[in-house]
Amino acid sequence: MSTRNELAAIRAASRKPIFTGLFWADLGERVITSAAGGALAVASATTFVIHEPTSWEALALGAASGALLSLLKGVAASASGTGSASLARSV
């Protein structure tokens, strides 16, 4: 059985998930998949040409935009108190 102090520490940690390794692992996965999704969206466009440098710049911009938005959303979601980078309570 946990003591009252241990329960208080657990509650305090759940209010500040941004300081845990689990939060950053969760956020890292979300950022990587968002970057891959952004890159895939650009690469699948009909205007993407493999031999054009501007196409690769657009691909990098799509990946970076997806990753940045995911990172910002995850950090903002850390204030929701769920302990993860998600706004959903069930995650």
Averaged pLDDT, 16-34: 87
DSSP the chain: ---HHHHHHHHHHHH-GGGSHHHHHHHHHHHHHHHHHHHHHHHTSTT--TT-HHHHHHHHHHHHHHHHHHHHHHHHHGGGSSSSS-S-TT-
Please tell me the distance from the alpha carbon of residue 76 to that of residue 24, in angstroms, as a whole number. 13
Residue 47 predicted with pLDDT over 70 = yes
- What percent of the chain is predicted at pLDDT more than 90? 48
Higher pLDDT, 23 or 81: 23
